[in-house]
Structure 1
Amino acid sequence: MAAVQWDPFEAIERDVRAMVADQRWADVPAPTQAQAMAARLLRTPDGGCWLFGTHARWHRHDQADGEWHLSAPPAAPQVRAAALPAHPAPPVPGHLLPAAADLALARGSTQAFVGPDVPRGLADRIRELLDVACGLREENRPFTTGPLREVFHEDATAPVAAMWGAIMWTAYAPAFDGNERLLSMFGEFLDRPLPGDDWVRWLPAMPLSALTSLYAERLARGARAATLVAAHLTDTASALLADPRFEFRAAALLAMVTPLRSRPWLDHPARDAETMAQAWMSRCPPSLRGALLPETSPGEHFRHTFYDLVEALSFVSVHGADPRAVAASLLAADVDAIAPTVAPQLYPWLDAELRRAFQVALGDPGHPLRGCWPRDGEPPEALRPADRNTAAALLGAGYATGLAWCRLTGTVPPPRGFPTSSAMVTCLIHQRDDPVPGAPATSAEWIRHR
């Protein structure tokens, strides 16, 4: 039997988690915490220095600028195994010191909703909630304002819109199989075709202000109308917790909205949607604040989704490729196809190494990194994951990264997806969940023709 290779990165992560989970850690002075973390730095053969710190994620020290950058750790086992304690160790800044709230993070899955369907039990529960919302037409008059108004027919009620908004806001990467029941059950209420193609609905990111705008309008009509919206937001979020692709942001939505079910007037002083969004976010506990990065720091959100993309590409290390360089190349492919002029806006959010890879992939058609780009809508053979779950994670992380840089730069997301995530669909078309025997097939015609 082959010996199990020791992984210093896993060992340090376990050690840091155990140390920070100790209740006494919070009382340790910051300089002492920094000293303890400095003793747990790793250095890889390429000279990189690594810290497992805040956000329960790895950070890499850049010798060129002396800064620490959020960075997914090496994926190749031989590189990880060769890591040694970092001596001498660079200073550990206070903002990277981990806290107990960091270790409570449960980020969930980065998979999109193509390939693995939403569990049937979850979809059935949403259907039950939707039936209740449909029965409120008489006592809950149609809503009239906010971003969700543009999505629905005039006779759709606010609770129906609240459910849709909760699903879209909590989804890590809202790219859905065109036959997904979670979407098709809303078809009779939607006023326009959803963006996408024959296989996938490439939906835009839902801002929190869309939900607070809906709630603010109902609050202006009275406590009962507001309570109904809060109830449907929380009931939907509770159901979505069952799927790890919704779990992280669903937990955050519950923390923000649940108090409104018993105290609908809680945010009454915040009359406009943006002010109310701030009030909601103030109720989110530290362990879930990462779910709010799209609202609070689009740049940091981009960094975290790019981290996810690098991790989703870890399988390429088997072929000797660097997942970070490949991720930078795929980012370049999407930016080049959608909005090449915004590339300079992304430079400050990439470390020097990634920035060089991104720039050369953008500017040099003959560079080997261009070999990572899709051709005729297909990914190169080396980027075809070996299994469905890995392909769904790569599609999801790629789409989430695309939405993140669009949000950061003010770019309108493409209605048919980004080139790299669209190419990944070809790896999943024949690996989607089969229909339940005896259940009628769901038609996608409602999305294309109204």
Structure 2
Amino acid sequence: MSGDGDPFTRAEHDTRATVAAPWWATAAPLQRQQALIARLVSLPDRSWWMYGAWARWYRWHPADGRWFPCSPPRGTMVRRSARPAQPGLSPPPIPAEILPAGPDFAYDHGPPLALAGRPVSGALLYRLRSVIQEAALAPPMDYPLGWSYFLHGTPSTIAATWSAMLWCASVPVFDPDLDSGGSPGLLGLWEPYLAQPFDDHGRLRWLVPPLLRTVIGLYAERMRAGRADAAGQIVRCMVMTAQALRDDPRFKVRASALLSIIEPLQANPALDHRSLPYGDEAMEREWTSRCPPALGTTLFADTAPGERFQMAVYDLAEALRPMCGDPESTAFTEPRYAAVALLAADMAGYRPDLAAPIGNWLDPELRGLLSDVIGQPGHGLRRLWPSRGRLPEDFRPADTDTALKALSAAAAVDFAWCRLAHGIPIPPDGFTVPDAFAAALDALAAKPATGEASEV
């Protein structure tokens, strides 16, 4: 075991070393459980922590008896009070689903990133413009589209490129100010085909990503109509769109996942024939089965919205770490508490009645905290809430990189809990917290440069 750092740091280091060992890939779940028991960490509050699947920490609390993804404590004193599993302690059983698989540790997904801060490159726009121009040449009679979102007569190939773009976006929140330079930006490439202009009531432009089943539907409709040639062209449009987007880090991970699913159809058009008679759900199972294990989290929004929400809250806590103060100080705010406070801010302004059902996906401590912050006007964590569109003075990002990551993670949480609540719509004006981070990003970007510009 590494002798450096606190028990959490050592447990993470040693778990990574164990998962990277050659025997891990073929080990049975029981063998993996036995290997990781010694890597568990306990705190005086009787909670247990484990570094597990998807390279995330999981928390077990005796009040509930279940494991939940949970960003670990960052305060120095709390981390030092942790103890590794030792003889005489009785750690809880480790469920197989939170055991690292191996590939989930190997792929660096990076933080979720919205389409803000900087525009997409001119090279990417050029490639996408060529793809869309080719898609627009498809005869509408051969590629019928019944979506009211697009103008009548728009071929489904255009919808295929649009759906692929939105599905591939890590966080499909767009800064309309990036498109104000005269030439059309990313979304402007599709604007000639839309039935209505973009509805820009809020600071940011929110576009709800389609479910994978919706993307599949465009392809499946042509297959069932006996037009395998047209179905192949729809897949080709999606592939070219994802290939163009993959060079941008804000699309890279999900574009890679989509390509792994649909590129095999170009080599073998009959790949999904056996599932066609059983409906789009059966075909969705075929598609998701082709996604590599390392990219499995990209499918959570489609197949496991509860787990997607948990991961989003985790990511928000990690994004807020630089803003939470000195971990050595008694004034330090645990990032996971800050994340729940900001979740509460957006829920309180839109659907406070959903605190209980949404909170059920959080561990017992954070679940209670969410209800308390929403229900108690004098709660201390409300000091982190934005006021008049601005973050409090002592809770603002210090640089554009931190601001963008926090904006993106907060927006991802809002998408996730709205999806979890049976797909309730995003409010027309967006949400308060991402808007506040957008304002902070604007203010930081307007400052004269004092050093090297941060890269997304």
TM-score bucket of the superposed structures, by smaller chain: 0.7 to 0.9
Partner of 1:66: 65
The answer to whether the aligner puts 1:386 opposite 2:384 as a matched pair is no
The whole-number CA distance in structure 2 between the counterparts of 1:428 and 1:33 is 44
Q: 1:144 corresponds to which letter in structure 2?
A: L
Deviation per CA, 1:265-305, whole angstroms, max 9, x where unpaired? 33244254333222211222222221111111111111111
- Cα 1:195/1:270, change in 2 over 3 Å: farther
Q: Which moves more between the two structures, 209-218 or 121-130?
A: 121-130
The whole-number CA distance in structure 2 between the counterparts of 1:29 and 1:260 is 33
The answer to whether the aligner puts 1:331 opposite 2:379 as a matched pair is no
The whole-number CA distance in structure 2 between the counterparts of 1:176 and 1:284 is 27
Question: Which of 135, 159, 162 matches 2:160?
Answer: 162
Cα distance, 1:81 vs structure 2:
5.6
Partner of 2:171: 173
Deviation per CA, 1:290-348, whole angstroms, max 9, x where unpaired? 11111111111111111111111112332511111111111111111111222221132
Conserved? CA contact 1:110–1:396, under 8 Å = yes
Alignment length (residue pairs): 426
Partner of 1:21: 20
Q: 2:228 corresponds to which letter in structure 1?
A: A
Cα distance, 1:194 vs structure 2:
2.4
Q: Percent identity?
A: 39
Partner of 2:418: 406
- Cα 1:94/1:267, change in 2 over 3 Å: closer
Task: Show the 5 A alignment for 1:105-120.
Answer: 105-120=107-122
Name the SS for the 2:367 alignment partner. helix
Deviation per CA, 1:150-200, whole angstroms, max 9, x where unpaired? 322123222222111111011121111113411112111111122433642
Deviation per CA, 1:390-417, whole angstroms, max 9, x where unpaired? 1111111111111111111122211221
RMSD: 2.4
The answer to whether the aligner puts 1:270 opposite 2:276 as a matched pair is yes
Cα distance, 1:15 vs structure 2:
2.7
Name the SS for the 1:245 alignment partner. coil
Q: Which moves more between the two structures, 23-32 or 165-174?
A: 23-32
Higher RCO structure (Cα 8 Å, ≥6 apart):
1
Partner of 1:358: 370
The whole-number CA distance in structure 2 between the counterparts of 1:128 and 1:80 is 53
Conserved? CA contact 1:41–1:89, under 8 Å = no
- Cα 1:116/1:218, change in 2 over 3 Å: same
- Cα 1:65/1:290, change in 2 over 3 Å: same
Name the SS for the 2:73 alignment partner. coil
Cα distance, 1:363 vs structure 2:
0.9
The whole-number CA distance in structure 2 between the counterparts of 1:142 and 1:58 is 47
Name the SS for the 2:57 alignment partner. strand
Question: Which of 119, 129, 132 matches 1:130?
Answer: 132
The answer to whether the aligner puts 1:214 opposite 2:218 as a matched pair is yes
Task: Show the 5 A alignment for 1:288-303.
Answer: 288-303=295-310
Which segments of 5 or more consecutive residues in structure 1 lack a partner in the other structure?
A: 435-450
The whole-number CA distance in structure 2 between the counterparts of 1:433 and 1:379 is 17
The whole-number CA distance in structure 2 between the counterparts of 1:187 and 1:116 is 20
Cα distance, 1:7 vs structure 2:
5.4
- Cα 1:335/1:239, change in 2 over 3 Å: same
The whole-number CA distance in structure 2 between the counterparts of 1:265 and 1:94 is 35
Task: Show the 5 A alignment for 1:174-189.
Answer: 174-178=172-176, 179-180=178-179, 181-189=185-193
Name the SS for the 1:174 alignment partner. strand
Name the SS for the 2:429 alignment partner. coil
Deviation per CA, 1:396-439, whole angstroms, max 9, x where unpaired? 111111111111112221122111112211112245699xxxxx
The whole-number CA distance in structure 1 between the counterparts of 2:113 and 2:395 is 16
Conserved? CA contact 1:111–1:389, under 8 Å = no
* Length-normalised TM-score, structure 1: 0.87
Conserved? CA contact 1:270–1:279, under 8 Å = no
The whole-number CA distance in structure 2 between the counterparts of 1:78 and 1:239 is 47
The whole-number CA distance in structure 2 between the counterparts of 1:94 and 1:223 is 41
